[in-house]
Amino acid sequence: MTGRINRRDFIKKSAATGAVTGITFGGSSRAAVLTDLYDRQNSPNERLTLGFIGVGARAHQVLSEVLRMPGFEVAGVCDAYRGRVDRAVEKTGGRAKVYRDASELLAAPGIDAVYIGTPDHWHKSHAIAALEAGKDVYIEKPLTYTVDEGLEIIRAVKKTGRILQVGSQNISSPTQLKAREIIESGRLGQITMIRSTTNRNTAGGAWIYPIPPDANDQTVNWDMFQGPAPKYPFSLERFFRWRCYKDYSGGIATDLFVHTMTTIHYIMAAQAPECVMATGDLYRWKESRDVPDTLNALIQYPEGFTVNLSATFNNQSAGERGIEILGTKGTLTLGRELTFTPENPIEDNDWIVASWARALEDAYFKDPKIRQSEQPQRWDPKVIPAGESWRGIGRNSTMLHLENFQRAVRNRKQPIEDVFAGHRAAAVAQMINLSASRKMPVFWDRSKDGLKA
Ligand SMILES: NC(=O)c1ccc[n+]([C@@H]2O[C@H](COP(=O)([O-])OP(=O)(O)OC[C@H]3O[C@@H](n4cnc5c(N)ncnc54)[C@H](O)[C@@H]3O)[C@@H](O)[C@H]2O)c1
């Protein structure tokens, strides 16, 4: 490919020109460039033609990014609701061809790769059909609806040699790469706990999305939506709010926690937990769903740390706080920004030694080491070590993740969120659901999971 520059050249060039794609350090003028210009160099005639299987709400976000990127051409779309197809075609200026369903789209000539944005219960069938049709695949998270499906998709990727990227786009963001580097450097000391809270208190946050007024049994293809799910009478609620129902979704764990787990696996270079314990229940939104609206999970890793995830749709005071990585030397908070806060541990044993013989108490505080570690002035803000923060700038993470996919397709090398990463993150979410529903711990035996990469 012509016009391509390698990463080292790019970093040199960017340092000279002050290029800004990347992250800044605490508002200072230093800038780290963490992505390269590869995809801006693509000539239009090297375009990757994409077919969209499912053009729902998320697909429309992705479509808008794809249409702004030079390396893609949207060649075709299909969906089970006419309104979304029409809107997608309109966005492409009429260029995208409409196909009746996924199999017609996959059989059409001139489509190199597909974006799969269907509900979760369809992911495995659509992914395997696309791989077997010789397409590269960008598929939304969660990769799977059950753990076993992950193994089937892994086999299909290996057999066909196609590229597969899973769509937890945040791991392509520069802040997550920076978080990984900081953790790798040991700056946080020993990390034993990671926690994250995703709380909401709105109907939309609880997935009760508005239903388009033109939706009816003429504009919605109910059979196409149901596919491999248990059969149920026509229901617009189920069609447009499928996350609320176990027949199509794993609820909070597979919709929200899966993003967090993808990130945690990536920044901690961890693969899979050894044990998951979770509790959850449906306390409030009982008329609209059969999945829990409140879920707590503890996930233990053989690498020596525990993850603590929680979410409720019944209070939002804690909000969606991002991920806190707690180390003996500092805390890294990963949300829209990345913040490092050093630890400032102060011993406070006054009340213990106050119960000793007076002479021993006096001697204790005469020890210079004790005076140093228990000095009350260490609370003084002037002596508390300063923190640092970073933010991603430039292209958004969806675009960066799509670029990563595009690069993988062109180089024939699996992308950042390959089938293994997607399977493992989704499997943790499914273990959380299993543990919560059976009220018992669930274990992952890595020596038997048969996963090599
Ligand atoms: N990466 C992210 O940040 C992110 C954000 C939101 C959703 N998602 C994921 O995207 C996927 C879709 O979610 P959504 O919110 O867009 O849901 P959605 O209901 O808005 O879209 C799903 C679309 O799939 C269509 N569909 C259903 N069955 C089909 C079939 N057999 N063939 C073709 N089309 C079919 C539906 O008509 C609908 O338009 C889910 O897996 C979800 O987890 C990811």
CATH of the domain at 287: 3.30.360.10
In a domain, 237, yes or no: no
Domain annotation covers residue 227: no
Which tens digits make up the pLDDT trace of 52-94?
A: 999 999 999 999 999 999 899 999 999 999 999 999 999 999 9
* pLDDT higher at 218 or 29: 218
Sequence-separated (6 or more) residues with CB below 8 Å from residue 38: 4, 5, 403, 407
Please indicate, yes or no, if residue 61 is contained in any of the structural domains: yes
Task: Quickly list DSSP for 142-205.
Answer: SS-SSHHHHHHHHHHHHHH---EEE--GGGGSHHHHHHHHHHHHTTT-SEEEEEEEE---STTT
Answer yes or no: is 235 within a domain.
Answer: no
Same domain, 295 and 436: yes
Token reading at 138: 């960008």
β 31-33/22-25 pair status: antiparallel
> Does 9 score more than 70 pLDDT?
no
The closest of 231, 200, 246 to 437, measured between CA atoms, is 246
Q: Tell me how far the alpha carbon of residue 361 lies from the centroid of ligand 1, in angstroms.
A: 67
- How confident is residue 375, by pLDDT bands cut at 50, 70 and 90? low
Spatial contact of 135 and 111, defined as CB atoms under 8 Å apart: yes
Mean pLDDT (the chain) is: 89
Residue 296 lies in a domain: yes
pLDDT number for residue 256: 98
Residue 186 exposed, middle or buried by CB count within 10 Å (0-12, 13-18, 19+): exposed
- Identify which has the larger pLDDT, 212 or 33: 212
pLDDT value at residue 376 = 59
Cα 160 to middle of ligand 1, angstroms: 25
DSSP string over 46-108? GPEEEEEE--SHHHHHHHHHHHHSTTEEEEEEE-SBHHHHHHHHHHTTT-SEE-SSHHHHHHS
pLDDT of residue 15: 30
The burial of 439, by beta-carbon neighbours within 10 Å (0-12 exposed, 13-18 middle, 19 or more buried), is given as exposed
Ligand 1: distance of its center to the CA of 57 in Å? 7
- Tell me whether residue 15 is in a domain: yes
Q: What number does the ligand 1 atom closest to the CA of 122 have?
A: 31
Q: Give the residue among 90, 91, 136 at the shortest CA–CA distance from 116.
A: 136
Does 1 reside within a domain?
no
Domain range spanning residue 61?
7-169+395-418
Name the percent of the chain lying above pLDDT 90. 79
Q: Which of 79, 214, 221, 241 to mutate to test the pocket of ligand 1 (most atoms within 8 A of CB)?
A: 79
**pLDDT level of residue 447 (50, 70, 90 thresholds):** confident
Domain match, 410 and 334 both: no
Q: Is 75 in the same domain as 158? A: yes
3-state secondary structure of 220: strand
Same domain, yes or no, for 182 and 162? no
Q: How confident is the model at residue 181 (pLDDT cuts 50, 70, 90)?
A: very high
Residues 296 and 405 in one domain: no
Residues 129 and 74 in one domain: yes
- Do 274 and 373 lie in one domain? The reply is no
DSSP-based three-state secondary structure for 330: strand
The verdict on the CB of residue 78 being under 6 Å from ligand 1 is yes
From the list 136, 118, 125, 168, the residue with the least C-alpha distance to 71 is: 136
Q: Is the CB of 422 under 6 A from ligand 1?
A: no
Q: Are residues 47 and 94 in the same domain?
A: yes
For residue 60, the ligand 1 atom closest to its alpha carbon is 16
Q: Which atom of ligand 1 is nearest to the CA of 227?
A: 31
Q: How far apart are CA 251 and CA 305, in angstroms?
A: 25
Question: Could you read off the pLDDT of 93-138 as tens digits, one per residue?
Answer: 999 999 999 999 999 999 999 999 999 999 999 999 999 999 999 9
What is the residue type of 306?
Answer: T
The C-alpha atoms of residue 275 and residue 306 are separated, in whole angstroms, by 10
Output the six-digit token pair for 66. 């794809």
The pLDDT score that the predictor gives to residue 379 is 60
pLDDT for 378 equals: 57
- Domain identity same for 253 and 292: yes
pLDDT confidence of residue 38: 36
In ligand 1, the atom with minimum distance to the C-alpha of 224 is: 31
- Answer yes or no: do 163 and 176 share one domain: no
Q: What is the pLDDT of residues 143-161, one digit of tens each?
A: 999 999 999 999 999 999 9
Whether the CB of 248 sits within 6 Å of ligand 1: no
Asked if residue 439 has pLDDT above 60, the reply is yes
Residue 402 in contact with ligand 1 by CB distance below 6 A: no
Same domain, 20 and 79: yes
* CB of 169 closer than 6 angstroms to any ligand 1 atom: yes
d(CA 338, CA 159): 39
Spatial separation of the C-alpha atoms in residues 220 and 207, rounded to whole Å: 19
Q: 208 alpha carbon to ligand 1 midpoint, in Å?
A: 15
Q: Which of these, 63, 123, 2, lies nearest to 402 by C-alpha position? A: 63
Q: Cα of 213 to ligand 1 centre, how many Å?
A: 19
Query: Which residue in this structure is represented by tokens 């970073």?
Result: 390
Distance separating alpha carbons of residues 423 and 308, to the nearest angstrom? 20
Q: Judge if the upstream peptide bond of residue 142 is cis by omega within 30 degrees of 0.
A: yes
Looking at the 3D structure of the chain, how many domains does it have?
A: 3
Contact indicator for 93, 227 with CB cutoff of 8 Å: no
3-state helix, strand, coil in the chain (%, to 5): 40, 20, 40
- Mean pLDDT to the nearest integer, 313-335: 93
The answer to whether position 236 is within a domain reads no
Ligand 1 in contact with 36 (CB < 6 A)?
no
| φ, ψ of residue 306 in degrees (nearest 5) | -120, 140
Residues 12 and 156 in one domain: yes
